[in-house]
Structure 1
Amino acid sequence: MATIGNTYDPATTAAGLATNYTSARQSILTAQTKQAGAAAAALSSLRSAISGYQSSLLSLTSGKTMLTQAATFSNPAIGSASAGVNATAGSYSFFVERLATANQVSYNGLADSAADGGNLGITIGGAPGFSINLASANSDGNATLTPREIAAAINAEPTNNGRVSASIVTVNGVTQLMLTSKTTGAAGNIALDSAAVNNAGLKAALSAPPTQVVSGQDAIVWLGAEGSGTRIEQASNVFTNVDGVTMTFTKAQAPGDTPVTLTVASDNAGTVAKVQKFVDDYNKLKAVIDAMVAPGDPAKGAAPGVFANDGGVRVLQGRMVSMLRGANGADSLAAYGIVAARDGSLTLNATRLTSQLAVSPKGLDTLIGSSVNGASSGIAGNLDSYLKEWSSSTDGQLKQRLEENTKLQTSLVKRQDQLDKQYDSAYKRYLMQFTQLQTLQSRMASNTSMFDALFGDKSN
């Protein structure tokens, strides 16, 4: 008699049939989930790129001009200078009589003393600054107060606020308490008030006149020649007397030296750098958008962008290009060397930019304009206004798209959960059926073997 064989595994067979039962819907759901995830990532990336570009536009145009000014000294050893966008071109003479210095004093001959407590005051510029509690300064709590504990207490005192730094210097076995003012000028001169110090020996050492390691003094600079110009005295070596210009003097001149000349003039290299940044930042945002709407090239294995079929993002791409190509004539972007290629990306011809600035220096600012709220104008203002339609946190397209995509992703998760339940149900049904069938086959096989044993050919 024929033998009934068991040639399959119920679990494997049930899994295969359950997969076939849900595979078509699973393929569609997987593709939709992948697309929704890619869209979420792309929208976040686009939001970041647009926000970054808007910040760059604001930074470039908030100074009211793209033109850059430079300030230089005829003798760089005397100091350095920088000019803001509002600085007026011109030349100025300065004589540096002396530099401002920060006071540094040392109290010599300090030794360990009995921890008798009291308070040590520190005066700054002749006025009470702050004080330290000597009992608290004895940080290890033993019977001895050391100079290092005093220095540490001065540095740690909250009301000091870093105005005075204290350190210990040992020279030939002699301990010195070194105090340094944070600020330059006579108003930062330091002195100690030991009237409330309890230990007599420590009080005497701190009451002695200190060594003036560096005298705190104000800077003296003359606008014009020394003695005949205008005398300027201040605590800092940084001067802002010329509108829009910051000067930092680093070296005093000798009596009779020729005054140093400060020259404020247009900085073409700086202007070129700002315009190049305008070009580069625009191209960076455009590259992000171009990649998202790219049609792809199957022949080269290039996949289409995530928004290849999205008309809205394509409109964004086209509007940005049209805004850059809108102006024509003598003060067009092309006239200033900013040229748009066929794909809308920009390049800068620095030579043409410099030449046009010599002819029409104000035209560049009028053309590019500003993205500052309440004063937006020109290309920057138009770009920023349009991009706000996308980036607005209240009703921008990116916000709406992200919310819609989040809803879609939530719906897809629910559909996946339902499909998983359908798979599990089908799997259990098929597993039960094929397990029962396997049991039946096993019984039939057993009966067949029994019949073969009872009625089989016994002649052999």
Structure 2
Amino acid sequence: MASPILPGSGLGSGLDIGAIVTALVNADKAPKQTQIDTQTKNNSLKISGVGSLKSALTAFQTAMTNLGSKTAPAFAGFSATSGTPSVLTATTDNTAVAGTYNIFVSSLATGSKVASAAFAGGAASAIPSGTLKITQNGIDIPVTIPANATLQSTRDAINSSAGPAGISANIVTDSSGASRLVVSSNKTGAGTDLKLSGISGLEIDGTQEMGATPTAGSSGSINGLAKDASLTIDGLPVTSKTNTVTGAVSGLTLNLVTTTAPGTTVTVGVEPNTKGLQTSIQSFVDAYNTLKKTIDTLSKATPDEDGKLTVQAAFTGDSMTRKLMSDIRAELTNNTTGGPVGVLSQIGVMTDQNTGELKFDAAAFTKSMATPGTTGQIQQLFAGTNDTNGLLSRMSKSLDPYLKPASITSKGMLDQRLADLTANGKKIANQQEALDIRVANLTKTLTAKYNAMDLLVGQMKATASNITSFFASLNAQQSAK
């Protein structure tokens, strides 16, 4: 039977058994409880720190990706401006040079779209089984047509088999209820016309036009044959297989939207992107400094409110954050593109010796812009000559070991650290559970012992009282004689 702690003084001894047992149990419990509380606090602090660090690294990596965007490059050495963006837009790379170009777009590049002869039975029309061969640019794409196929299931088979090649099919039904299979390609330029063969009723020669008023039995291309884009640049004729014209002007890419109105041209101006580069460099510096401050906050111990005791941070004394900053800083001085502008100090970006953060000297940057060709060299420094050697991609890549797993069976360093801390938290919880059981058992044991002691003392007091009464009685009898 359990022996509860008595609420007050023992009946036999007069001692406060409850207070005595509580004091003894607490004295036994205190060292281990203090250790567990400290471990729990530190483990929780580190788990929170891992989450904060991972969030900061992800934000920095996102910033590097955005600054290195190919569609909206933040570090374009030159900026291209179209006088009529509704007709064409323009972008540049680091090989561009300043200049002005007058462009006339006479036609856009188009792809092939072909239609079959009409099927009176509509989408449910029966199609013979076999292999439908779709030919484009001399390449054949086979499409298996199973037994009991319909025009609709044939359409679905084409989309499934030829879809990855940029070819799609649909059914167009006219007012009479007759349906045609219409097949189109996303590839543009002369010579990309489609041909279909191998299945009776679906023989289509895309090099032949159906004309303005096709008969039920006619098939061929619709909306004209596939053709190249045609334009002039400063009066010089240019053709392009696609509506993205590259290589016609060094360093300049033209994105054609529509044709130019007769008698007009679109003026495209290319000039050094000095202001845009300054803004982008400042954004880079800000992103780096934000990450640096976060890592410092998570790593450096700070004094308490009284300025006496040192309060540990989540990564105080941890080699991982030191290695992390070392990996990032190493890329700041690693010139892998081989350009004349190889380090940030050449364009006014320096390291603060006291804080380790970056400082951007706008005056020094403006001075460096006086050297011809510097804007293109800055673009090369940040964006690189390929997808991997620019500063932006290298700094982003330096964070991969911390954020991304090296293989399917592994974890990134931070995820592994979090898993270890979570497992450690479970071990601490098990220690707390074991301590609670120990405290309960010790309380029960001491209470039983002190209750037994109190009972014995009570019995001894009763015996002593009886003996005292006996001798008192004897003395009284002797005194009476």
Mapped contact 2:106–2:230 kept (Cα < 8 A): yes
Paired position in structure 2 for 1:220: 230
Q: Determine the structure 2 residue equivalent to 1:328.
A: none
Q: How does 1:14-25 map to 2 (within 5 A)?
A: 17-25=24-32
- Cα offset, 1:217, TM superposition: 1.6
CA distance in 2: counterparts of 1:8 and 1:207, whole angstroms: 114
Q: How does 1:2-401 map to 2 (within 5 A)?
A: 4=11, 17-39=24-46, 41-42=48-49, 45-46=52-53, 49=56, 68-107=77-116, 109-112=118-121, 115=126, 117-119=128-130, 121-125=132-136, 127=138, 129-136=140-147, 138=149, 145=150, 147-156=151-160, 158-174=161-177, 175-193=179-197, 196=200, 208-210=218-220, 212-225=222-235, 229=236, 231-241=237-247, 242-254=249-261, 257-292=263-298, 293=300, 295-296=302-303, 298=305, 304=311, 306=313, 310=317, 336=348, 352=363, 355-360=366-371
Kindly indicate whether the alpha-carbon contact (under 8 Å) linking 1:94 and 1:222 is maintained by their aligned counterparts in 2. yes
1:166 CA drift (Å):
1.4
Normalised by the length of structure 1, the TM-score is 0.64
C-alpha distance after superposition, 1:92-134 (max 9, x if no partner) = 3433221111222333532336746333635444746334444
Residues 133 and 421 of structure 1: CA distance in aligned 2, closer, same or farther (over 3 Å): closer
Unaligned runs of 5+ in 1: 139-144, 199-204, 325-330, 450-460
CA contact (8 A) 2:25 2:442 kept: no
Q: 1:363 to 1:190 in 2, by over 3 A?
A: closer
Deviation at 1:180, TM superposition (A): 1.9
Check conservation: 2:189, 2:241, Cα contact below 8 A. yes
CA distance in 2, matches of 1:266, 1:30: 61
Aligned residues: 403
Q: Which moved more, 1:3-12 or 1:419-428?
A: 3-12
Check conservation: 2:109, 2:229, Cα contact below 8 A. Answer: yes
CA contact (8 A) 2:128 2:200 kept: no
CA deviations on 1:289-328 (whole Å, 9 max, x unpaired) are 332326256279x99460697598799999x99x99xxxx
Q: Is the 8 A contact 1:71 1:265 kept in 2?
A: yes
Give the alignment partner of residue 434 of structure 1, picking from 435, 447, 450.
447
2:466 maps to: none
Cα distance in 1, alignment partners of residues 174 and 440 from structure 2: 89
Aligned with 1:298: secondary structure? coil
Structure-2 separation of matches of 1:245 and 1:116 = 49
Letter in 1 for 2:441: K
The answer to whether the 8 Å contact 1:6/1:438 transfers is no
Look up the equivalent residue of 1:121 and give its one-letter code: L
Distance 1:85 1:391 in 2: 32
User: Residues 41, 197 of structure 1: CA spacing in aligned structure 2 closer, same or farther, 3 A cutoff?
Assistant: same
Rounded to whole Å, the distance in 1 between the matches of 2:383 and 2:153 is: 56
**Amino acid of the residue matched to residue 259 of structure 2?**
A
Residue 208 of structure 1 aligns to which amino acid in structure 2?
A: S
Give, in angstroms, the shift of residue 79 of structure 1. 0.6
Q: CA deviation at 1:357?
A: 4.5
Q: Which amino acid aligns with 1:26?
A: Q
Q: TM-score, normalised by structure 2?
A: 0.61
Classify 1:224/1:430 alpha carbon distance in 2 versus 1 (closer, same or farther; 3 Å).
closer
Residues 37 and 176 (structure 1), Cα distance of their counterparts in 2 relative to 1, 3 Å cut:
same
Q: Is the 8 A contact 2:118 2:216 kept in 1?
A: no
Q: Distance in 1 between matches of 2:301 and 2:282?
A: 26
| 1:415-430 equivalence runs, <5 A | 424-425=437-438, 427-430=440-443
| TM-fit CA distance, 1:236 | 0.7
Q: Which 5+ residue runs of structure 2 have no aligned equivalent? A: 1-9, 203-214, 333-342, 407-411, 463-481
RMSD after superposition: 5.8
Summarize the Cα distance change of 1:446–1:349 in structure 2 as closer, same or farther, 3 Å threshold. Answer: same
Quick check: 1:188–1:216 contact (8 Å CA) kept in 2?
yes
Residue 340 of structure 1 deviates from its aligned partner by 5.9
Opposite residue 80 of structure 1, the aligned amino acid is T
> Aligned residues: percent identity?
20
d(CA) in 1 for partners of 2:146, 2:323: 74
* CA spacing shift, 1:271–1:101, aligned 2, 3 Å: same
